[in-house]
Amino acid sequence: MKEMTFVQAVNEALHLSMERDQNVICYGLGVTDPKEIFGTTDGLLKKYGSERVFDMPTSENGMTGVAIGAALNGIRSVMVHQRLDFFLLAMDQVVNNAAKWFYMFGGQRSVPITIRLIIGHGWGQGPTHCQNLQSWFAHVPGLKVVMPTTPADAKGMLLASIADENPVIFLEHRWLHQQKGMVPEGYYETPIEKAKVVTSGTDVTIVSLSYMTVEAIHAIEFLKHQGISCELIDLRSVQPIDWETIFTSVKKTGRLVALDTAQETLSVASEIVARVSQDLFSFLKSGPVRIGQPDVPSPTSFGLSKGYYRRSEAIALAIGRMMKGHDLEISALTESRKFPHDVPGDWFKGPF
């Protein structure tokens, strides 16, 4: 095991994949530029050459189709986009071609491509640079959609995504990029379809994903001092969803809070609440709750974004109400945060 950041873990996975399989190529806007996609593509060009690692024309849709076509002849592309929002131009290729190919052609050929999309957050990213549209992708049969939280999962799930026979949307939250964690050395795959129980608890099940798992950990620590025991499940994959792990936990606790980095309505969290309500109604001791972002575009201004993002305070309040029937005093939680609301930590100085 070695301590490293999420960025370093992604970089290591890319190196391992390209070393292992000659047919893996990596491209995207900025892949070979001086910033190397926040450092994630560091060293790839030098090691694997410009045939396999390259910058591309500003053609998100066309170049996604290129990845699909190359996949039909055995090339595994890892595409990367510095913001998910730009990839919306490629929805035709990913929805109509990549997602459909295996099913539509009677299972004769699949499209093994990996598309890394970075989700912005805070620092005035605003309406069009920080959309968390995981449910759009997860809604389309044929795509796999993963959202790792820890560096170890980032590495293992990226390796699993590249080796997968199907198109995988790999969503990286910008605020996780400098998170550190212990990462196993060498090549390993973290199965895409398994959620992870991060902490065990008895009172409430929190189903979380991506950056919200970090907020949940802060809330859980706070709630522990209030005598509330939470079980935290990090989904890791939002398509497919590991229902077994969720159901096992909710049967034990009888309570559910589902978290999401996206606008709340029609979110992945909505799906978690719906399925649990439908299938485990008799186990529930209280109404399930979901916590996502408000149903408006993300504002830009430091002032406007102050109350916009729902964080550990919202989680603690919701669980407090669920368990005790009243609002908890949560100011300690806010005060424990050492930096402004629009950055993930001291390391982030902008610009994006």
Partner 1 sequence: MNTLQSKEMYEKLFLIREAEQAIARVYPEGEIRCPTHLSIGQEAVPAAMGLATTSQDLAVSTHRCHAHYLGKGGSLRGMFAELYGKVTGCTRGRGGSMHLMDESVGFMGSTAIVANSIPVGVGLALSMQLKKQKNVSLIFFGDGATEEGAFYEAANFAALRKLPALFLCENNLYSVYSSLKPRQPEGRKIVEVAKAIGLHTEIANGNDAEECFRVISEAKQRAINGEGAQFIEFFTYRWLEHCGPFIDQHLKYRADDEFAKWKAMDPVASFREKMLKNGTLTESQMMGIEKNVLDSIADAITFSKESPYPEASEAFGPIYKERNHSAGASK
Catalytic residue positions? 60, 129
- Contact segment (CB under 8 A) with partner 1 among 62-70, 228-236, 256-264, 295-303 equals 62-70
Among 47, 105, 243, 339, binds partner 1 (CB under 8 A): 105
DSSP 3-50: EEEHHHHHHHHHHHHHHH-TTEEEE-TTTTSTTTTTTTTTTHHHHH-T
- Residue 267 burial (10 A CB sphere; 0-12, 13-18, 19+): buried
- In the numeric block, the tokens 């069009």 are attached to 128
Q: Hey, how many other C-beta atoms are within 10 angstroms of the C-beta on 6?
A: 28
**In whole angstroms, what separates CA 141 from the centre of its chain?**
18
Q: Least distance (Å) from partner 1 to the CB of residue 127?
A: 23
Site residue total, partner 1 (CB under 8 A): 52
For 95, 98, 144, the CA distances from 61, given in Å and listed in that order, are 11, 12, 19
Applying the rule CB under 8 A, the residues between 176 and 205 that interact with partner 1 are: 184, 187-191
Among 71, 219, 317, 323, binds partner 1 (CB under 8 A): 71
CB closer to partner 1, 101 vs 348: 101
- Other beta carbons within 10 Å of 152: 20
Choice between 25 and 246, CB closer to partner 1: 25
Among 33, 165, 244, 327, contact with partner 1 (rule: CB under 8 A): 165
Q: Does 331 bind partner 1 (CB under 8 A)?
A: no
335 scored as a contact of partner 1 (CB under 8 A): no
Residue 103 or 339 having the CB closest to partner 1: 103
φ, ψ (nearest 5 deg) of residue 139: -75, -15
Among 6, 87, 101, 211, binds partner 1 (CB under 8 A): 101
269 binds partner 1 (CB under 8 A): no
Find the shortest distance in angstroms from Cβ 179 to partner 1.
18
The one-letter amino acid at 20? R
Q: Look up residue 344 and give its two tokens.
A: 């993930």
Residue 352 and residue 348: Cα distance in Å, rounded? 9
141 binds partner 1, rule: CB under 8 A = yes
Whether the Cβ atoms of residue 270 and residue 290 lie closer than 8 Å to each other: yes
Asked if residue 8 binds partner 1 (CB under 8 A), the reply is no
Closest CA relative to residue 258, chosen from 204, 299, 192, 217: 204
Tokens of 209: 């994903």
Choice between 22 and 286, CB closer to partner 1: 22
Tell me: does residue 247 bind partner 1 (CB under 8 A).
no
Choice from 19, 46, 72, 350 touching partner 1 (CB under 8 A): 72
Residue numbers of the site for partner 1 (CB under 8 A)? 25, 51-52, 56-57, 59, 61-75, 92-93, 96-97, 101-110, 141-142, 144, 152, 156, 159-160, 163-166, 184, 187-191
